A and B are shown apart, each in its own frame.
Chain A
Amino acid sequence: MSNTATQPITMGPAEPIVSSQYETREQQTETAFIGMWLFLIQEIMFFGGLFVAYAVYRYKFPVTWYESSAHLNYWMGGTNTVVLLLSSVTMASSVYATQTGKRAMQLWNLGLTLVLGTVFLVVKYFEYKEKFGHGLWPGWNWNPDALGFTDPSHAQLFFILYFIMSGMHAFHMIIGISVGAVFWVLCYKREYGPNKYLPVEMFGFYWHFVDIVWVFLFPMLYLVSAPGPLH
């Protein structure tokens, strides 16, 4: 760390803290990385089941998928993709600011990350509301007759997968925003700084992972249909 020589540490501990079970700070950092990646791999397994279910039914019912996807608003999905992408930039910048002891940059970027995450959920809310209004909520709200599906029962399957997959993603976003809010308060209390930044960085990993899931969900759900006007 080169910044300690020139400027005083105003954030986090004055000296690096190495827990007793580690030989060096490098080993401690590496262990955190590996542990976090193992957690993310089990998250991949969790979402993997949903992705495989999607793949099987997409393979079975390509025409239905083609028709059903046209009922999703890809402008809203695209907006949310950009919002999440920006939030990943601010999250990564916040980690950088924590590592280099730039307090204002840390707080602003972490706060902006949480705001963008909330914007994502708000757009999602309006999307769900629109689907509900069109009778596309599977089950008791299901009204496919007005929508002209060739095969309504399998179209319902698409929307079941849509709501489960995007819903689980939104659930991860809610967890991320909640944990992020705690991190913001801790950052405000100068808990994290150049000598203690791993927790913030590991939270960033989680945030980026949720972004990656959306990167796959967006084309799979919104872009399967033919070019054409929105419904």
Chain B
Amino acid sequence: MSHRIIPVKYYLINAVVLTLLMVLTVVAAKVPAFHFSDNPNGINLLIALVIAIAKAACIVSVFMGSYWSSSLVRLLSVAGFLWLCIFFMFMATDYANPLEEFGTPYLDVQSPGTNPLAGGQNHPNIGRELTPAHGGTYTPPPHLFGGHEAEPAAGAPVAEHH
């Protein structure tokens, strides 16, 4: 039905749930006993985002009333999120893959060791900060690049595609 009137009771319950989720996300991030990982690249942000998605779902379902709406409206209420997922997926194929240091045309315009903003120093892995989780410097598989030897000289092309 389109003339839906949602009782205030549901709004108040939703507010309590959202407040608890908000406290949970702060506790998971800021209380050492509940902090999952000390690695900067750990799963903490992922946990926080999962909680954020749950909170967004509560707001859309109850405050915006999608739970009581027609199927078409409910579909639209998740369409934007699905579009965002596709956006992230395609961006990840550009950046979050093993060949990213050779293939990202937008970000890695600097050659190693020539970044003036970083005091002339750049990481050998071209702008990517390595954490212990990454296990050090990445070495590309030789069969892909005809054997990637030592670091290229400053100003030299990063890699030659074959």
Q: How far is the CB of A175 from chain B (nearest CB, A)?
A: 18
Q: State in angstroms the CA–CA spacing of A221 and B1 once bound together.
A: 40
Q: How far is the CB of A229 from chain B (nearest CB, A)?
A: 10
Q: Which of A52, A78, A92 contacts B26 (CB 8 A)?
A: A78
Q: How far is the CB of B77 from chain A (nearest CB, A)?
A: 6
B35 interface residue per 8 A CB criterion: yes
Nearest B residue to A230 via CB reads B30
Q: Given the interface contacts A64-B129, A81-B22, A219-B25, does A41 sit within 8 Å of B76 by beta carbon? A: yes
Q: Which of B7, B8, B48, B128 contacts A219 (CB 8 A)?
A: B48
Q: State in angstroms the CA–CA spacing of A81 and B51 once bound together.
A: 14
Q: Given the interface contacts A153-B117, A211-B59, does A30 sit within 8 Å of B83 by beta carbon? A: no
SS class, residues of chain B in contact with chain A: helix
Q: Given the interface contacts A59-B95, A62-B41, A63-B40, does A215 sit within 8 Å of B52 by beta carbon? A: yes
Nearest A residue to B48 via CB reads A219
Q: How far is the CB of B6 from chain A (nearest CB, A)?
A: 7
B38 interface residue per 8 A CB criterion: yes
Residues in A with CB closer than 8 Å to B55 are: 212, 215
Within 8 A of A (CB), among B44-103: 44-45, 48-49, 51-52, 55-56, 59-60, 62-64, 69-70, 72-73, 76-77, 79-81, 83-84, 87-88, 91, 95-96
Q: State in angstroms the CA–CA spacing of A216 and B81 once bound together.
A: 12
Q: State in angstroms the CA–CA spacing of A74 and B27 once bound together.
A: 11
B131 interface residue per 8 A CB criterion: yes
B32 interface residue per 8 A CB criterion: yes
Nearest A residue to B90 via CB reads A52
Stretch at the interface among A83-91, A119-127, A132-140, A159-167: A83-91
Q: Given the interface contacts A96-B8, A208-B64, A227-B35, does A216 sit within 8 Å of B56 by beta carbon? A: yes
B12 interface residue per 8 A CB criterion: yes
Partner-B contacts on A (CB < 8 A): 1, 25-26, 29-30, 33-34, 37-38, 40-41, 43-45, 48, 51-52, 55-56, 58-66, 74, 78, 81-82, 85-86, 88-89, 91-93, 96, 99-100, 151, 153-154, 204-205, 208, 211-212, 215-216, 218-220, 223-224, 226-227
Contacts A/B (CB < 8 Å), 7 sampled: A30-B72, A33-B70, A63-B131, A215-B59, A223-B30, A223-B44, A226-B40
Knowing that A37-B79, A91-B63, A151-B129 are A-B contacts, what are 11 other residue pairs whose CB atoms are under 8 Å apart, sorted by A's residue number? A33-B70, A40-B80, A43-B80, A55-B88, A60-B107, A66-B40, A96-B5, A96-B8, A216-B49, A219-B51, A220-B49
